[in-house]
Structure 1
Amino acid sequence: MLEMASYEAAAYYFPNYHRDSRNAKWHGEGWTEWELVKRAEPKFPGHRQPKIPLWGYEDEADPSVMARKIAAAADHGLTSFIFDWYWYEDGPFLQRALDEGFLQAPNNDRLKFAVMWANHDWIDIHPAQRSRPYNIQAAGQISEKGFVAATEHMIRHYFSHPSYWRVQGGLYVSFYEIHSLIRGLGGIAATARVLREFRERVRAAGCGELHLNVVVWGLQILPTEQTITNIHEVLEELGVDSITSYVWIHHQPVDQFPETDYAWIRDRSLLDYEKFTAAYKLPYYPNVTMGWDSSPRTVQSESFEPLGYPYMATLAGNTPEAFKIALEGVKSFLDRGQTSPCVFTINAWNEWTEGSYLEPDTVSGMAYLEAIRDVFGTSKKNA
Structure 2
Amino acid sequence: MKDIKAIAMYLPQFHRIPENDQWWGKGFTEWTAAKAAEKLFQGHYQPREPLNDNYYDLMQKKTMEEQADLALKYGLDGFCFYHYYFKNGRRVLEKPAENLLKWNDINMPFCFCWDNTSWARSWSKLGSKLTWFDKEKERVYDGNGVLLEQKYGREKEWEEHFNYLLPFFQDDRYIKVDNKPVFLIYRTDEMACFTEMIDYWRKLAKIENLEGIFILGVNSCNEKIGMDGILFSGPSAYWNPIISSNHIEYENRNGIKCFDYETIWKNVMIAGSKKNVKTYFGGFVDYDDTPRRGSQGVAFINTSVEIFEEYLYKLACKNLSQNNELLFINAFNEWGEGMYLEPDKKRKYAFLEAIKTVKEKLESVVQDDNEELTSALKANKGLSGNVEVINTNMEKQNGKFKEYYFLLHRWLQLKEENKNLSKYFMDHGYYRIAIYGLGVMGKHLIEELKNTEIRLLYAIDRNPQLIYPDFEIRSVDDDFPRTDAIVVTATFEYDVIWNELKKKVDYPIVSLAHVLNEM
Residue 254 of structure 1 and its aligned partner are, at CA, apart by 6.3
The residue that corresponds to 2:47 in the other structure is 50
* 1:72 and 2:70 correspond: yes
Q: How does 1:230-249 map to 2 (within 5 A)?
A: 231-232=222-223, 235=224, 237=225, 239-249=226-236
* 1:96 and 2:68 correspond: no
Q: Residue 287 of structure 2 is aligned with which of 254, 273, 292? A: 292
Render the CA deviation track for 1:319-378: whole Å, top value 9, x for unaligned: 21111012121123234x3x2233211011111111111111111111101101001139
Residue 177 of structure 1 and its aligned partner are, at CA, apart by 1.0
Tell me the amino acid that sits aligned with residue 165 of structure 2: M
Q: Percent of aligned pairs with the same residue? A: 24
Q: Secondary structure at the match of 1:296?
A: helix
Q: Residue 173 of structure 1 is aligned with which of 170, 176, 183? A: 183
User: In 2, distance between residues paired with 1:146 and 1:126?
Assistant: 29
- TM-score, normalised by the number of residues in structure 2: 0.60
The residue that corresponds to 1:22 in the other structure is 19
Residue 251 of structure 1 and its aligned partner are, at CA, apart by 3.0
Q: Which has the larger radius of gyration?
A: 2
Q: How does 1:30-179 map to 2 (within 5 A)?
A: 30-54=27-51, 56-90=54-88, 91-100=90-99, 102-105=100-103, 107-109=105-107, 111-124=108-121, 125-127=131-133, 135-144=145-154, 145-155=156-166, 157-179=167-189
Tell me the amino acid that sits aligned with residue 218 of structure 2: V
Residue 250 of structure 1 and its aligned partner are, at CA, apart by 2.7
Q: Residue 255 of structure 1 is aligned with which of 250, 255, 265? A: 250
Contact kept in structure 1, 2:158 and 2:201, CA below 8 Å: no
Tell me the amino acid that sits aligned with residue 215 of structure 1: V
Q: Which runs of 5+ in 2 are unaligned?
A: 122-130, 136-143, 240-247, 364-519
* 1:199 and 2:198 correspond: no
Q: Secondary structure at the match of 1:103?
A: helix
Contact kept in structure 2, 1:255 and 1:313, CA below 8 Å: no
Contact kept in structure 1, 2:13 and 2:30, CA below 8 Å: yes
The residue that corresponds to 2:336 in the other structure is 353
Tell me the amino acid that sits aligned with residue 320 of structure 1: V
Render the CA deviation track for 1:175-208: whole Å, top value 9, x for unaligned: 11113432xx4xxxxx423211211111212233
Closer, same or farther in 2 for the Cα pair 1:379/1:251, shift >3 Å? closer
User: In 2, distance between residues paired with 1:77 and 1:43?
Assistant: 34
User: In 2, distance between residues paired with 1:205 and 1:9?
Assistant: 28
- TM-score, normalised by the number of residues in structure 1: 0.81
User: In 2, distance between residues paired with 1:371 and 1:94?
Assistant: 30
Closer, same or farther in 2 for the Cα pair 1:331/1:379, shift >3 Å? closer
Taking only aligned residues, the RMSD between alpha carbons, in angstroms, comes to 2.4
Closer, same or farther in 2 for the Cα pair 1:141/1:256, shift >3 Å? farther
Closer, same or farther in 2 for the Cα pair 1:200/1:96, shift >3 Å? same
Render the CA deviation track for 1:6-59: whole Å, top value 9, x for unaligned: 111111111111112221222233321211111101001111111001151111
User: In 1, distance between residues paired with 2:63 and 2:249?
Assistant: 34
User: In 2, distance between residues paired with 1:70 and 1:254?
Assistant: 38
The residue that corresponds to 1:188 in the other structure is none
Residue 141 of structure 1 and its aligned partner are, at CA, apart by 3.2
In terms of fraction of residues, the more helix-rich structure is 2
Contact kept in structure 2, 1:12 and 1:81, CA below 8 Å: yes
Q: Which has the higher contact order (CA 8 A, sep 6+)?
A: 1
Residue 268 of structure 1 and its aligned partner are, at CA, apart by 1.4
Q: Secondary structure at the match of 2:252?
A: coil
Residue 255 of structure 1 and its aligned partner are, at CA, apart by 2.6
Residue 105 of structure 1 and its aligned partner are, at CA, apart by 4.2
Q: Which runs of 5+ in 1 are unaligned?
A: 186-190, 218-227, 305-310
Q: Secondary structure at the match of 2:286?
A: coil
User: In 1, distance between residues paired with 2:72 and 2:261?
Assistant: 26
Tell me the amino acid that sits aligned with residue 22 of structure 1: E
User: In 1, distance between residues paired with 2:13 and 2:161?
Assistant: 19
Contact kept in structure 2, 1:82 and 1:115, CA below 8 Å: yes
Render the CA deviation track for 1:80-114: whole Å, top value 9, x for unaligned: 111110011141110112112x33446533x3211
Q: Residue 213 of structure 1 is aligned with which of 216, 222, 226? A: 216
Tell me the amino acid that sits aligned with residue 248 of structure 1: P
User: In 1, distance between residues paired with 2:104 and 2:62?
Assistant: 8
Worse-superposed segment, 263-272 or 139-148: 139-148
User: In 2, distance between residues paired with 1:260 and 1:84?
Assistant: 25
Contact kept in structure 2, 1:15 and 1:84, CA below 8 Å: yes
Contact kept in structure 2, 1:257 and 1:314, CA below 8 Å: no
Q: Residue 365 of structure 1 is aligned with which of 334, 345, 348? A: 348
User: In 1, distance between residues paired with 2:249 and 2:331?
Assistant: 18
User: In 1, distance between residues paired with 2:104 and 2:214?
Assistant: 27
The residue that corresponds to 1:332 in the other structure is 317
Aligned residues: 332
Residue 5 of structure 1 and its aligned partner are, at CA, apart by 6.6
